[in-house]
């Protein structure tokens, strides 16, 4: 099916073939397709498609096939007199089309083709069958459904069903003046005099432009979104094309959507199908992973597919629900773990385009992050990210007073931005977009911190997601310390002599120790560990910040205790997939691959049949997407201790389960902008290949048995700097292969 490098190949002369050359990608990806011999009965079973802006899924509803459609940037635009984000700027549902067959639905034979990102197969009824091909176009805003019926089904028809343009968070927004007091009591007294009684957006309207129908939804606060659709018939096949457009603050979405449909109808079909496939065929080979557990391998590649569907530079980042928004109480971006962990997989996967939009949105919203600061006088030098935001990043520290003391969300999100930098070494991005925001985020802590009688710098009690307000809150201590250390590193890298350097040095040196109890790290110094805590925010110092790590002396005991507590799931609401999203990487960074695998299996069992995940019946995408990160952390790690100037090392197979004797990966990315490939066979590393994209210092821990040798196109020296760790002076574009002498035997 596909051929990979033999163990001895790196020893020979000449450069190895590329991943694209060595793998039969269509055949490999076909192994991981989802197939359906029964019609999926709801969104939890449905095949789903997307292009990081618009998306679709199909499933049975009554005697129809429901084609549900989505657009990721459709939000309301009201201000805070309508409440906080869930009520003023919620993400809005679009609606669905219904395919009405002539006969009674009896079954299907569907394949979700990952390589081509399309659904193919047949729909059967008691009157005949309908051959189907469905896709969301990778490049254009088109949702395409080709249907070829037999004679008995030629009379099938489509109908359109718009969703109401209102928040899906229900239950407490006031519908009359007398209810405002209760709302203000829950969310903050600032709403007592300013909050408006609910007012619906105007009803949508249907228009026609030639043969194209357009449903236009105007918004009370300005802007509109629109769904357009039309059909094209040729050779017995009817092609239904839908497009969704969004505009703000003005109108224009209706015309844009209609023009998109007309354009797609007029285009040469093989050409636009070819462009769709070309995007996906370029996307998958950016890296390759194969592991012995084939069910997990399939989930890994299905997750990589979902990343291609849900986020992309210039389109949208991953929100709480992901592209396939089903409503529920979280119609926004939740920034207290969800969006951070949702993006963890993109860096090692060598898919930085899927992480870039998070950085871009923070940068684009920087003025709103400044205006969000309270007290207002701190806006001069600080920035703040609320727990609930829309794409515009509008909000403030007082919008939901339950979380006024939750101050660490911007530095936490900027840890993702720092990863985007470390894996790309894009100094311009660091200088222009990341550094100024991180400086402001840490300034908020500097305003709050005071020296105590013990000579330590103490923050006031702050909020640890999702547990409460605690003294010496580990969540904020970790982020404050990481931020200070990272700003010092960035200053050195960018050659900036920032006047705040003494404050950052003081902050990193004089914070109190992380509070520890009998079972590991606690939420805070005045809080015994909250048992079975599904939100591992008190363990950020372990992962992803690496402030406390296995390579430091005296850390093994607290790391192990914290890990075991994180894995201790009990109760009906233990949410294994959610817990594993954070607990799994913690297991890998202390080298426990077997426990990490146990957690992966829990996560796998907790996912819905479609591969998505839900909390309380509503989709939460991070626990779906994190599966790829958990596997990557078993295969390669390249984190650096924030307190040290040296980078890496790149650790090869640092947490592979004992039973995984044969593992191989290609072009996974490491910090320092290295592409790394490696093979493990019979439980031993066979070879490691490294390509430098930026010319950064390379430190590697390959895990070989025996004397390590190097092959390269030009003479390069391999220096052992400590047991098992080597340093190689690589230049930009250099590529080397490491192997052990024992592999020659």
240: pLDDT confidence band, cut at 50, 70 and 90?
Answer: very high
The predicted pLDDT at position 3 comes to 37
pLDDT digits (tens, 9 = 90+) for 323-374: 999 999 999 999 999 999 999 999 999 999 999 999 999 999 999 999 999 9
* Last residue within a domain, chosen from 582, 615, 637: 637
Peptide bond preceding 330 in cis form (omega within 30 of 0): no
What pLDDT, in 10s, does the model give residues 537-557?
Answer: 999 999 999 999 999 999 999
Which three-class secondary structure string do you get for 209-226? ECCEEEEEEECCCCCEEE
- Looking at 262, 285, 308, which one is the last position of a domain? 285
Are residues 461 and 404 part of one domain? yes
- pLDDT tens digits, 340-351: 999 999 999 999
Residues 374 and 389: their CA atoms lie apart, in Å, by: 16
**pLDDT value for 573:** 66
Please check whether residues 549 and 696 belong to one and the same domain: no
Position 252 confidence tier, pLDDT thresholds 50, 70, 90: very high
The Cα angle at residue 223 between residues 218 and 224, in degrees rounded to 5: 40
CATH number at residue 220: 2.70.98.50
- 567/20: higher pLDDT: 567
Range of the domain at 692: 9-20+649-744
Residue 102 lies in a domain: yes
CB within 8 Å of 186: residues ≥ 6 apart: 172, 402
For the segment 182-196, what is each residue's pLDDT rounded down to a tens digit? 999 999 999 999 999
Q: How many CA atoms lie within 13 A of 486 on its CB side?
A: 30
Neighbours of 497 (CB within 10 A): 6
User: At 689, which CATH number?
Assistant: 2.60.40.1180
Residue 536 pLDDT exceeds 60: yes
Q: Are residues 604 and 485 in the same domain?
A: yes
pLDDT surpassing 90 at residue 719: yes
For residue 5, what pLDDT is reported? Answer: 40
pLDDT band at 11 (very low <50, low <70, confident <90, very high): very low
Is 182 part of a structural domain of the chain?
no
**Whole-angstrom Cα distance, residue 232 to residue 241?**
8
Q: How much is the pLDDT for 642?
A: 96
140 and 261 assigned to the same domain: yes
Q: Dump pLDDT digits (tens) for 592-616.
A: 999 999 999 999 999 999 999 998 8
Residue 172 lies in a domain: no
Give the max Cα distance, the chain.
Answer: 86
Q: What secondary structure, in 3-state letters, does 269-293 show?
A: HHHHHHHHHHHHHHHHHHCEEECCC
Residues 621 and 657 grouped into a single domain = no
**pLDDT at residue number 648:** 86
> Domain tally for the chain?
3
How far is it, in rounded angstroms, from Cα 350 to Cα 666? 10
How many whole angstroms separate alpha carbon 369 and alpha carbon 372? 5
pLDDT higher than threshold 60 for residue 456: yes
Rounded Cα gap, residues 692 and 609, in angstroms: 40
Could you give the CA distance from residue 123 to residue 565 in angstroms, rounded to a whole number?
48
Taking the C-alpha atoms of residue 452 and residue 449, their distance in angstroms, rounded to an integer, is 9
Co-location of 207 and 356 in the same domain: no
How many residues in the chain? Answer: 745
Q: How far apart are CA 212 and CA 583, in angstroms?
A: 50
Domain limit, last residue, from 285, 303, 330: 285
Confidence of residue 527 (pLDDT cuts 50, 70, 90): confident
What pLDDT shows up at residue 571? 59
Q: pLDDT, tens digit, for every residue of 403-436?
A: 999 999 999 999 999 999 999 999 999 999 999 9
- pLDDT, residue 171, reads 81
Residue 15 pLDDT greater than 90, yes or no:
no
pLDDT of residue 225: 98
- Which residue has 């550094």 as its token pair? 435
Rounded CA separation 722/727 (Å): 9
**Which two structure tokens, joined as six digits, stand for 598?**
């146990």
Is the domain of 341 the same as that of 253? no
Question: Beta 105-113 vs 95-100: how paired, if at all?
Answer: unpaired
pLDDT digits (tens, 9 = 90+) for 612-635: 999 888 889 999 999 999 999 999
Q: What is the pLDDT of residue 14?
A: 38
**pLDDT bucket at 687, cuts 50 / 70 / 90:** very high
Looking at the domain assignment, is residue 183 inside a domain? no
- C-alpha to C-alpha distances, 223 to 142, 329, 394, 457, 485, nearest whole angstrom: 21, 24, 17, 48, 43
Q: Across residues 140-152, what is the average pLDDT? A: 98
297 and 446 co-located in one domain: yes
Given a cut of 60, is residue 7 above it in pLDDT?
no
Return the number of other C-beta atoms located less than 10 Å from residue 492's C-beta.
11
* Average pLDDT of the residues in 699-718: 93
Do residues 236 and 319 share a domain? no
C-alpha distance from residue 546 to each of 226, 519, 558, 589, 675 (Å): 46, 19, 14, 9, 22
Same-domain status, 435 and 577: yes
Look at residue 721 and tell me whether its pLDDT is greater than 90: yes
Mean pLDDT, rounded, for 134-161: 98
What CATH number does the domain containing 310 carry? 1.50.10.10
Residue with tokens 């489509």: 158
pLDDT tens digits along 280-334: 999 999 999 999 999 999 999 999 999 999 999 999 999 999 999 999 999 999 9
407 within a domain of the structure (yes/no): yes
Nearest-angstrom CA–CA distance, 348 and 637: 8
Query: What is the pLDDT confidence band of residue 572, given thresholds at 50, 70 and 90?
Result: low
Residue position matching structure tokens 């998306």 = 55
Question: Can you state the angle between helices 576-589 and 622-635, rounded to 10 degrees?
Answer: 20
Whether the per-residue pLDDT at 744 is higher than 60: the answer is no
Strand order in the sheet with 224-234: 34-36, 105-113, 118-125, 128-136, 143-149, 237-247, 224-234, 212-218, 205-209
* pLDDT digit string, tens, across residues 25-41: 999 999 999 999 999 99
pLDDT for residue 705 is more than 90: no
Cross-strand bridge partners of residue 675? 669, 691
User: Does one domain contain both 329 and 450?
Assistant: yes
The pLDDT, as a whole number, for residue 743 is 53
* 190 falls within a domain: no
Report which of residues 218 and 530 the model is more confident about: 218
**CA angle, corner 314, sides to 117 and 479, nearest 5?**
105
Residue 186 counted as domain residue? no
The 718-722 sheet, strands edge to edge: 636-637, 650-652, 698-701, 725-728, 718-722
In a domain, 3, yes or no: no
Per-residue pLDDT at 4: 44
Q: Are residues 262 and 322 in the same domain?
A: no
């Amino acid at each position: 099916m596909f051929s990979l490098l033999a163990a001895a190949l790196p020893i020979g002369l000449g450069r190895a073939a590329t991943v694209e050359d060595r793998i039969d990608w269509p055949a490999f990806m076909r192994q991981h397709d989802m197939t359906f011999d029964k019609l999926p009965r709801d969104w939890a079973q449905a095949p789903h498609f997307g292009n990081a802006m618009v998306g679709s899924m199909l499933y049975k509803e009554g005697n129809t096939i429901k084609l549900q459609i989505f657009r990721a940037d459709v939000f309301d635009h009201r201000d805070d007199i309508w409440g906080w984000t869930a009520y003023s700027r919620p993400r809005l549902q679009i609606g669905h089309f219904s395919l009405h067959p002539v006969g009674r639905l009896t079954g299907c034979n569907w394949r979700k083709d990952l390589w081509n990102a399309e659904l193919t197969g047949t729909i059967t009824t008691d009157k005949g069958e309908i051959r189907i091909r469905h896709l969301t176009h990778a490049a254009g805003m088109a949702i395409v459904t080709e249907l070829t019926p037999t004679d008995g089904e030629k009379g099938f028809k489509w109908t359109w069903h718009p969703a109401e343009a209102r928040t899906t968070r229900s239950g407490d927004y006031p519908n009359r003046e007398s209810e405002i007091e209760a709302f203000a009591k829950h969310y903050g007294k600032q709403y007592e005099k300013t909050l408006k009684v609910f007012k619906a957006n105007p009803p949508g309207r249907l228009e026609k432009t030639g043969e194209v129908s357009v449903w236009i939804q105007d918004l009370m606060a300005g802007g509109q979104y629109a769904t357009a659709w039309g059909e094209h018939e040729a050779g017995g096949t009817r092609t239904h094309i839908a497009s969704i457009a969004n505009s703000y603050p003005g109108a224009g979405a209706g015309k844009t959507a209609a023009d998109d449909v007309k354009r797609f109808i007029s285009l040469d079909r093989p050409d636009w199908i070819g462009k769709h496939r070309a995007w996906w065929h370029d996307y998958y080979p950016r890296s390759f992973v194969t592991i012995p557990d084939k069910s997990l391998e399939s989930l890994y590649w299905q997750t990589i597919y979902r990343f291609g569907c849900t986020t992309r530079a210039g389109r949208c980042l991953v929100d709480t629900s992901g592209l396939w928004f089903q409503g529920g109480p979280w119609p926004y971006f939740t920034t207290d773990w969800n969006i951070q962990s949702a993006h963890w997989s993109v860096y090692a996967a060598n898919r930085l385009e899927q992480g870039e939009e998070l950085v871009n949105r923070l940068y684009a919203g920087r003025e709103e992050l400044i205006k969000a600061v309270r007290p207002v006088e701190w806006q001069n030098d600080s920035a703040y990210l609320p727990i609930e935001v829309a794409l515009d990043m509008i909000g403030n520290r007082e919008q939901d007073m339950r979380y006024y003391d939750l101050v660490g969300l911007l530095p936490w999100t900027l840890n993702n931005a720092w990863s985007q930098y470390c894996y790309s070494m894009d100094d311009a991005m660091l200088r222009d977009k990341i550094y100024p925001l991180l400086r402001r985020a840490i300034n908020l802590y500097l305003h709050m911190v005071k020296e105590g009688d013990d000579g330590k710098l103490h923050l006031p009690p702050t909020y640890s997601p999702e547990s409460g307000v605690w003294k010496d809150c580990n969540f904020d201590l970790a982020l404050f310390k990481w931020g200070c250390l990272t700003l010092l590193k960035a200053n050195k890298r960018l050659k900036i002599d920032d006047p705040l350097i003494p404050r950052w040095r003081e902050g990193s040196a004089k914070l109190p120790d992380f509070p520890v109890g009998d079972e590991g790290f606690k939420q805070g110094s005045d809080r015994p560990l909250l048992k079975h805590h599904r939100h591992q925010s008190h363990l950020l110092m372990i992962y992803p910040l690496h402030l406390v790590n296995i390579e430091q002396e005296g850390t093994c005991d607290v790391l192990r205790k914290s890990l075991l507590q994180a894995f201790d799931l009990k109760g009906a609401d233990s949410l294994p997939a959610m817990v594993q999203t954070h607990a799994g990487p913690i297991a890998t960074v202390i080298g426990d691959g077997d426990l990490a695998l146990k957690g992966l299996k829990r996560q796998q069992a907790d996912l819905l049949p479609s591969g998505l995940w839900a909390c309380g019946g509503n989709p939460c995408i991070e626990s779906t997407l994190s599966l790829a990160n958990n596997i990557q952390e078993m295969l390669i790690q390249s984190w650096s201790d924030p307190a040290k100037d040296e980078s890496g090392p790149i650790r090869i197979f640092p947490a592979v389960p004992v039973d995984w004797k044969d593992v191989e990966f290609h072009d996974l990315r490491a910090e320092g902008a290295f592409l790394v490939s490696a093979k493990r066979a019979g439980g031993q590393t066979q070879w490691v290949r490294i390509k430098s994209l930026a010319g950064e210092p390379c430190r590697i821990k390959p895990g070989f048995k025996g004397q390590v040798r190097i092959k390269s196109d030009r003479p390069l020296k391999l220096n052992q700097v400590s047991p098992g760790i080597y340093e190689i002076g690589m230049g930009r574009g250099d590529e080397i292969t490491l192997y052990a002498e024992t592999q020659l035997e």
